[in-house]
Structure 1
Amino acid sequence: MEQKKENHFFIDSQKLSAKALEKKHRLENDPSCRKDPMAYFPDMEQIHSDVRARVIAAMNAYQPETYTAIDVRRALDHERVTIEDVKALLSPAAKPFLEEMAARAQRETSRHFGNTVYLFTPLYIANYCENYCVYCGFNCYNDIQRLQLSHDEIAHEMKVIADSGMEEILILTGESKTKSNVEYIGDACKLARQYFKNVGLEVYPMNVADYKYLHECGADYVTVFQETYDLKKYETLHLFGHKRVFPYRFEAQERALMGGMRGVGFSALLGLSDFRRDALATALHVYYLQRKYPQAEFSLSCPRLRPIINNEKINPLDVGERELCQILCAYRLFLPYVGITVSSRESASFRNGIAKICATKISAGVSTGIGDHEEKYTGKHEDKTGDEQFEICDTRSIQNMYGDMEQEGLQPVLNDYLYV
């Protein structure tokens, strides 16, 4: 019998400095750590939407173990996969059908996306964070090297990346409104527009007006990880800061669309809670918003937990590569027009294979640290860098990734947008 793995979320206190330990103790005893996760901070905009209630109700009612092979067979026989069908496809009963699911997912992907796969690079411009999320390397008390890039340093990093041939960039920060305010992020977007054709953001959730401003600065799309849709688990993992407020984070994508963003991305971090329920909630989050905002572009990603500085024991609870493949195939069958991103958290072999089945976008030339792209791309040592958010698995350069995708029979695409 396979032994069930355990997650080890908390930072190893023996690896923290005295200053970090003092900060950890102070934060754990701060009243904000006991804040109601459903209560908004005063600066948080509240919108009137029924999407969250529908998604959470469906997730709470979902019992994956009750589905049978008959339910899976019925789902695969349907021309269009329904909500009830995707519940069956995400269940344990679907495991023996994985090859059939993959074959059908491949046909759906080919029908709507051809044999193309889009390439992009993430750029972390700051790793300061004001949240205490126990599984994240950037969390506010973890004893790491912090850094915020200046305007000139951001421009330099972007030029290095653009010179490699990349045309799409995803700008990321830690979740600190003090160190990475909206104007700072907006400045980065303006710079990115000088170097890249497509600009994405993965930063802290914002109000509609902030998203509108960033869109005017050049941002095309916004990605937000809900992390887990299980409120009880969410509360135990997010102990301090604005990120503790569950509904504000849930509604971030809708506020981004209200602010004019062209597209939005969604994800649960698989391994934090019951991955089947989180996968269903993520799919339904997209499904309901897709019908509410049919003009927008939607994308999904499926990241799993990775080790972080001061905790190498973190692992994705019960989520192996077969389970990950099952989720991605179920997503493709349920949401045939949605983009699917597979990150460098996964191995090169897995990403090569899944790109031929259902993934439409993969990262290349990745670093989750701050200010080290020149060293990574050219070998020139950087004097000042910031520590990484998590360990990556696939370290291929843009050139190697491009060549590997061609060898897999795919057409790598750097950009397909025209601005007139």
Structure 2
Amino acid sequence: ALDVSLSKGHRRCVIQAWLRVQAFSGLTFCTHVIPFLKATSHASRGFMAGARVGAVRAACFLLLLATAEGFKANEFKKCADASFCSRNRGRAGDVYSIKPGSAVLSGATLAATVVNEEAEPAVELTLTLSLYDGFLRLQVDEAQPVGRYMVADVLAEGFLGMQGAQSVRMEEGKDGLTVSAGGVRVVLKYWPMQVDVFRGDTHAISFNSRQMFAFEHARQKQEGDPAGWWEEKFRSHSDSKPNGPEAIAMDLSFPGFNHVYGIPERATSLSLQQTAGSEPYRLYNLDVFEYLHESPFGLYGSIPMMLAHKAGLTVGAFWLNSAEMFVDVRKSGGATETQWIVESGVLDLFLFLGPSPSAVVKQYASVTGTTAMPQLFALGYHQCRWNYNDEADVAAVDAGFDSHVMPYDVLWLDIEHTVGKRYM
């Protein structure tokens, strides 16, 4: 029985939670009972046995409808609702090229000029390639920096002081150049721009092999600019863009790999499914209480890190960018091809070359740091509710613990205590 002291809203919340638990239990029941009933009905071959299976199937179908109804898909952005995604998804970008003769190697870092000749006037970008022990970093930004947002505070202190690879060599030819160190070789094609990464003799990763790279550069606002460049709306929310369109799109291909993993968090299979004909995977921090199984929608946190694995080799790709992002996955000709589209920022891409899963994780951790161990107080009892509104609420809860002689370590506050849900 529900505590009569609960408010009407709280009772409704408890009832909904109880129904969700029952729905989950029912789904578990369906997955176990239907195969059993099918087996017994096949053995008995009776009309009533078949009717039992049909009745259970119908009940389970209604249960699935009730569970799916809880997820309000229209409240969350899809690619078509975000102009930066809709104008770049599946589209080959302008033709970008690496300017011959512009490459300069300094230690373990190569810098070169990238040109978008289709823009009017032509736009120049700066490409920087840095080699480390077992991985590399590829960065692209505007040649004349305009203050695009760059994520910096998540990089590990150890990485910032890390030495680059030793004995880096550069060989320049008519159609491109090659940079190599140890067992890593990077081939840069001039026109159109393409970067191919090899681990030993194995072609591991290709950047821009499908010519989907696009870098929306700084510009002045003009009459007749396309909708969504400077402002757009979703439901009741307005999103102003004082710097105009700043999206970046790229394609990464993993030749010889049939499976890719990562870009969490979402409720889908470990091996990421193809997204053709559906929504791309969305990376945007959300608190989704109700969600669909096998859905590209994000759940809570988001990490733009992807791993590709096959026998003998595991590689990874991490885009250091905190803006909203969409990722498409498709399988083609024994390879996995992906397209990544981000709303703003710069291209800051780490490619980890393993060769084992543990080596990729170690390389990733050398860049971002390892998971922090919890502090001692975190092991105690934590009291957390959404609905603590003010100091009086907190004082009452604290007094309640005292009156019931219940020790606790932490009392958490959620969004309701803020003014207009503003946190900073």
Specify the TM-score bucket, using the shorter chain as the normaliser.
Answer: under 0.3
Q: When the two structures are superposed, what TM-score results if normalisation uses the length of structure 2?
A: 0.24
Larger Rg: 2
Q: Which has the higher relative contact order, 1 or 2, with Cα contacts under 8 A spaced 6 or more apart? A: 1
Q: When the two structures are superposed, what TM-score results if normalisation uses the length of structure 1?
A: 0.24
Instruction: Identify, as 1 or 2, the structure richer in helix.
Output: 1
